[in-house]
Structure 1
Amino acid sequence: MATDIRTSELKEPVDVAEYLFRRLHEIGIRSIHGVPGDYNLVALDYITKNGLNWVGNCNELNAGYAADGYARVKGMSAIVTTFGVGELSAVNALAGAYSEYVPVVHIVGVPSTLSQRDGMLLHHTLGNGDFNVFANMSRQISCAVAPLNDPHDAAALIDNAIRECWLQSRPVYVTLPTDVVQKKVEGARLKTKLDLDFPPNDKEKEDYVVEMVLKRLQEAKNPVILVDACAIRHRALEEVHALVHTTNLPVFVTPMGKSAINETLPNYGGVYAGDGSNAGVATRIEAADLVLSIGAIKSDFNTSGFTYRVSQLNTIDFHSHMVRVRYSEYPGVRMNGVLKKLVDKIQTGDVSVHPGPVPNNDIPHSEISSPSPTITQAWFWPRLGQWLRPKDVVITETGTANFGIWETRFPEYVTAISQVLWGSIGYATGACQGAAMAVKELDRGQRTILFTGDGSFQLTAQEVSTCLRNKLNPIIFVINNDGYTIERFIHGMEDAYNDVQPWNYTSLPLAFGSPASEHIALSVKTKDDVEKLFSDEAFATSDKLRFVEILMEKDDAPQALKLTAAASAKTNERKE
């Protein structure tokens, strides 16, 4: 009776599930990834009713990867799983999103509040009456947890979770009990848009930090800018671009920061990754007397095995939670505001500018002069840069593709997606599906292009099926180099545990139910084959899914991968 009295007091009552999905629609999400299960089925009915598309993935892990890829293109994403068995399958992907600052709303359909109260022995439980155990697991990889057990606070919890997901750029965890899905909340709240603006820095503290940065910048004789992934994830690119254009300083990116900067700019210098850097880059950066490091993530794979040689005495670090000038830290000062004020205060002639190296997509002379028709890593990645087009979305798996793409200079407005820090094998194929869905929704004439190895592809190959089901048309390049190449270079070059079963890759679209007339599948085995493919305008602009197998040698890898793998092997062998 109490519920009825409360509902009658609502101005515009709406169901909890409707409120949730309308809020997701409000922030720009149009597709929901996930897998159905009996604890989320009634909630799924609300998706299409509220202007959203249900993707329907082949498993929850793939759905999590896809949600990650979708969010990196669209800004934010959502995934729906079921209690226990479903949500745990997605945990690896959500942990990767947490690690790499990707905002994903994870909605879990859970047993009714009555069943939980009574500790019922239900399926998908551990059989011990503990209904919080899975939420406690996900709490470690979520920036907010919203148990929607009571309609009294459900709307507020939903709003807070979505806001925190956006502001912290990390996953949030929302549980939706079966008996709460259709309970009523105040729909009038929906008339007020969510406030997604970053809280402003303390003005006095921000002004002081700006003056400190400006002073160091004016004193420097040879400054440079280095942009990393958190500049992308924490939405500081507008301020970064303004700084790059205003100062005209040489600007570089890290592997995780690839595509953060327009690589056609005359002051773009290439990729810095310590010993694995593009030609001339390490020398230029390590000789600088000031490095403006924006959004740095100094992980092993992002630094070619911790081979950075930049002193903190010559560094100013800009982050979402603080700014560090040399060894002085200023917590609570977000980089966005500091960078904006810095640009406003810089005057012509304030900054000393010495040009850096100019990267290109020239194929190494040794590859040009080689009579061998074999497709090599050293030849392919610069050649790819000549084929890519503005606005392409390029996904690379952690492996030869991710390290190879360092040698590819992008045209303007390219979006690069990779998972350098978390590095979960198979990520890229799932992320490709999500990215392709986001690209389809944006409808800006972009291409979605995936590069993944055969070993990685075998983990999540089912997402080709999901692409076909949703009429997506990515270009998928599977590098067939006979197994787990990055693992071979770390340990076990010839060992059986790094082998995989050879597949008939080009037959997979057919196996997944696509008529031959509705996709393109082919295999390229030589450099001439690649040249013919890259000169084929019909292939480049087709609206069909394109699936390409590229044959490469199993003992061939980008130089940066070899260096990083060797460093990783040494790290693994460390002893007391």
Structure 2
Amino acid sequence: MSSHSVLQSEVDRLRLQLQTLQVEQGVQNISIGNYLLERLAQLGVTSMFGVPGDFNLGFLDLVEDHSKIEWVGNCNELNAAYAADGYARVKEHSIGVVTTTFGVGELSATNGIAGAFSEMVPVLHIVGTPSTVQQKAKPILHHTLGDGRYEAYRLAAAQFSIFQANLADKNTAAALIDHALTECIKLARPVYVTLPMDMVTQEISSERLKIPLSRSHPLNDHDTEKFVIDLIAERVKEAEGDVVVIVDACVIRHDVRKEVLDLLKETGFPVYATPMGKTAINEDHERYGGIYIGTVTHPDIKKKVEQAKLIISIGGLQSDFNTGNFSYKIPTLRHIELHSTHTKVQYATFAGVEMKQLLPKLGEALKSLHPLVRKFEVPLFVKALPKEDTPVISQLWFWPRLSYFFKPKDVIVTETGTSNFGILEVPLPPGSVLVSQILWGSIGWSVGSCLGAALAARDVGLNRVILFVGDGSLQLTVQEISPMIRLGLKPIIFVLNNSGYTIEKFIHGKKRKYNNIANWKWTELLNVFSEDDKPHKSYTVRTKDELSSLLDDKAFASGDKIQLVEVVMEPLDAPRALKVQTELSAKSDPYKERR
């Protein structure tokens, strides 16, 4: 045999050996539980929320031992679901994860999961279930309904999730996990995964982990997309540059902030936001004009938007509180809508032409109109502190005053009620993130959400986390202050003490006892929930001067510890936008004669 042949033979042997090693590495086994955790780590998940229960404890062993994912541990499952929601809203391109036990735990979390579904927030709900053997035999186990219907909870969950996976077969477990997570990140909706006790440590191939999950959507049909772009360009030219853009919730949920900003830079279009779209665009953007909410809108903004010759809505979600009780005055002939699944140009709908791919090409097609568009002025959205003679802290004064306290990259969490509405007309600094739940509107949501938002903010390098919550709402979910302190989080919590459910009073029953609550010793809460080595401080402010002095205090403003501020306000005082909205809502109240 020639030396060349010997050398070639050795090369072939080494190549075969290398291929064998690669194959062996490629089929290295991993448990189903750890496969799921590795996929979550690949998505940037660092915190898992939930409550331990006997059917998920084996899985929680794996979570606790994982090097990248921290088990948070909540006070109840509802709060855990709220926290997963807040985490996903702040940590974009990741998801929120909540783990509960079968039946009692998962049903407790359902309200939080439904809210995430309603508001299009990507949350994974993992449920530890009885073993596959038990599910087949259907004994009367604890946490069951006692009638053998082990599938009842999954059927319920199907109403609030876009995909449900039962990891009962090791041969399909990896594919089901991948499909569930892909649906979650692509469609920005919750998914539901059940993990039987006896499947947690079953081993499967790790080969699929080498392939990242795809966020890509099918490409827009080229010809249809080009037709739509040409059609929109024609409408814009007909409008002679008199065009405004309205950004809404799905700009945030479907990850098109950059594409929208690029469009605005290319065209110079004036831009306004809905309540659910607030902070989709930095509010110091030179062509940003404020919030549009139909009839609820400030008159100057309302005129600018509704009298434009063409309105382009991006990522619209037209719910009642997001549209001023459906009071948009935008005729279809002057309206173009860009969505995550379709585009509407006046009366025509183009299915499958989605906004993320469309926007860059649209900006390119319209950039020549920039000089024409710039001729149309945009009213400045600026801070304005009203002058009031009374020392009482009014809603009218409170929110503009807070605008001087906010800093770039703050995370601001607001609760259903006065906070959601009060924040709308306040300019927020660049890079700030507003976290609010306007469509689902579950009172108490903001407290659990604040926990998740604070963990996410810490991960992504945002600034302070500031929570505004009413006294009534806080009583529903107050326990979640405890894990905030345990985890070393430092939110500034403003408790608006206005003696009950103010938003409900304005809707119906201003003088009814059912809208009142017991008054707690609010400044004692941090003492109750605190651990000895965790610094904290609480304050009560009753006047404008007291609040201003506190906000101007550098130590307080630094946010170097968790702090709670009780803000005493009048029971029947509310922000302008809330008053107008509830007046509109009251028109459909069948009991309005008894308000």
Q: TM-score, normalised by structure 2?
A: 0.93
Aligned: 1:212 with 2:231: yes
Aligned residues: 563
Contact 2:492 2:559 in 1 (8 A): no
| Residue in structure 1 matching 2:558, options 541, 551, 564 | 541
Deviation of 1:11 after TM superposition, in Å, equals 1.8
Partner letter of residue 342 of structure 2? M
- What is the CA deviation profile of residues 215-268 of structure 1, one whole-angstrom value per residue up to 9, with x for unaligned ones? 111221311010000111011111111111111111100001010111111211
Aligned: 1:45 with 2:65: no
Alignment partners' CA distance in 1, 2:27 and 2:268 = 56
| Between 43-52 and 544-553, the greater mean CA deviation after superposition | 43-52
Aligned: 1:344 with 2:360: no
- CA gap of 1:513–1:197, structure 2 versus 1, over 3 A, is same
Deviation of 1:197 after TM superposition, in Å, equals 2.0
Deviation of 1:416 after TM superposition, in Å, equals 0.5
Partner letter of residue 87 of structure 1? E
1:399 maps to what in 2? Answer: 417
Aligned: 1:492 with 2:509: yes
Alignment partners' CA distance in 2, 1:547 and 1:197 = 43
Map 1:283-432 onto structure 2 (within 5 A). Answer: 283-349=303-369, 351-353=372-374, 354-364=376-386, 368=387, 370-432=388-450
Alignment partners' CA distance in 1, 2:38 and 2:30 = 10
Aligned: 1:447 with 2:469: no
Alignment partners' CA distance in 2, 1:225 and 1:516 = 50
| Bigger-Rg structure (1/2) | 2
| Between 54-63 and 381-390, the greater mean CA deviation after superposition | 381-390
| Between 292-301 and 506-515, the greater mean CA deviation after superposition | 506-515
Alignment partners' CA distance in 1, 2:26 and 2:150 = 31
- What is the CA deviation profile of residues 486-533 of structure 1, one whole-angstrom value per residue up to 9, with x for unaligned ones? 000011101100000100011001011344970011111110011101
Alignment partners' CA distance in 1, 2:554 and 2:285 = 27
1:23 maps to what in 2? Answer: 39
SS class of match (2:377): coil
- CA gap of 1:343–1:503, structure 2 versus 1, over 3 A, is same
Partner letter of residue 37 of structure 1? G
1:5 maps to what in 2? Answer: none
Q: TM-score, normalised by structure 1?
A: 0.96
Contact 1:249 1:355 in 2 (8 A): no
SS class of match (2:343): strand
Contact 2:536 2:562 in 1 (8 A): yes
1:504 maps to what in 2? Answer: 521
- What is the CA deviation profile of residues 311-365 of structure 1, one whole-angstrom value per residue up to 9, with x for unaligned ones? 111110011110000010001111111111111222333653411211211113x
Alignment partners' CA distance in 1, 2:334 and 2:559 = 49
SS class of match (1:468): helix
Partner letter of residue 123 of structure 2? V
Deviation of 1:199 after TM superposition, in Å, equals 2.4
1:187 maps to what in 2? Answer: 206
Alignment partners' CA distance in 2, 1:249 and 1:571 = 36
Partner letter of residue 97 of structure 1? A
- What is the CA deviation profile of residues 537-557 of structure 1, one whole-angstrom value per residue up to 9, with x for unaligned ones? 111113211111111101100
Deviation of 1:10 after TM superposition, in Å, equals 8.6
1:513 maps to what in 2? Answer: 530
1:86 maps to what in 2? Answer: 105
Map 1:166-205 onto structure 2 (within 5 A). Answer: 166-205=185-224
Alignment partners' CA distance in 2, 1:391 and 1:118 = 54
Alignment partners' CA distance in 2, 1:199 and 1:429 = 38
| Residue in structure 1 matching 2:246, options 215, 226, 246 | 226
Partner letter of residue 383 of structure 2? N
Contact 1:510 1:516 in 2 (8 A): no
List 4+ stretches of structure 1 deviating above 6 A: none
1:147 maps to what in 2? Answer: 166
Aligned: 1:98 with 2:123: no
- CA gap of 1:574–1:542, structure 2 versus 1, over 3 A, is closer
| Residue in structure 2 matching 1:282, options 278, 293, 302 | 302
Contact 2:123 2:189 in 1 (8 A): yes
Partner letter of residue 385 of structure 2? I
Deviation of 1:206 after TM superposition, in Å, equals 1.5
| Residue in structure 1 matching 2:268, options 239, 245, 248 | 248
SS class of match (2:468): strand
SS class of match (2:430): coil
Deviation of 1:445 after TM superposition, in Å, equals 4.8
Partner letter of residue 464 of structure 1? I
Aligned: 1:464 with 2:486: no
Map 1:535-574 onto structure 2 (within 5 A). Answer: 535-573=552-590
Contact 1:305 1:563 in 2 (8 A): no
- CA gap of 1:241–1:409, structure 2 versus 1, over 3 A, is same
Alignment partners' CA distance in 2, 1:243 and 1:127 = 58
Give aligned-pair identity as a percent: 47
Partner letter of residue 356 of structure 2? N
Alignment partners' CA distance in 2, 1:514 and 1:528 = 32
SS class of match (1:323): strand
Alignment partners' CA distance in 2, 1:515 and 1:521 = 16
Contact 1:489 1:562 in 2 (8 A): yes
Deviation of 1:420 after TM superposition, in Å, equals 0.4
Deviation of 1:570 after TM superposition, in Å, equals 2.0
SS class of match (2:313): strand
Deviation of 1:38 after TM superposition, in Å, equals 0.2
Alignment partners' CA distance in 2, 1:74 and 1:49 = 23
Alignment partners' CA distance in 1, 2:318 and 2:278 = 14
Contact 1:480 1:551 in 2 (8 A): yes
Deviation of 1:207 after TM superposition, in Å, equals 1.6
Deviation of 1:81 after TM superposition, in Å, equals 0.4
- What is the CA deviation profile of residues 58-108 of structure 1, one whole-angstrom value per residue up to 9, with x for unaligned ones? 000000000000000113111100000000000000000000000001000
- What is the CA deviation profile of residues 357-389 of structure 1, one whole-angstrom value per residue up to 9, with x for unaligned ones? 11211113xxx1x32100001101111111100
Instruction: Give me the CA root mean square deviation.
Output: 1.6
- CA gap of 1:63–1:359, structure 2 versus 1, over 3 A, is same
Partner letter of residue 42 of structure 2? E
Contact 2:50 2:73 in 1 (8 A): yes
- What is the CA deviation profile of residues 133-183 of structure 1, one whole-angstrom value per residue up to 9, with x for unaligned ones? 000111111111111010100000000000100000000000000010011
- CA gap of 1:126–1:476, structure 2 versus 1, over 3 A, is same
Partner letter of residue 157 of structure 1? L
Alignment partners' CA distance in 2, 1:262 and 1:506 = 34
Structure 1 gap segments, 5+ residues each: 1-7
Alignment partners' CA distance in 1, 2:567 and 2:527 = 18
Alignment partners' CA distance in 2, 1:168 and 1:290 = 29
Partner letter of residue 359 of structure 1? F
| Between 165-174 and 279-288, the greater mean CA deviation after superposition | 279-288
2:546 maps to what in 1? Answer: 529
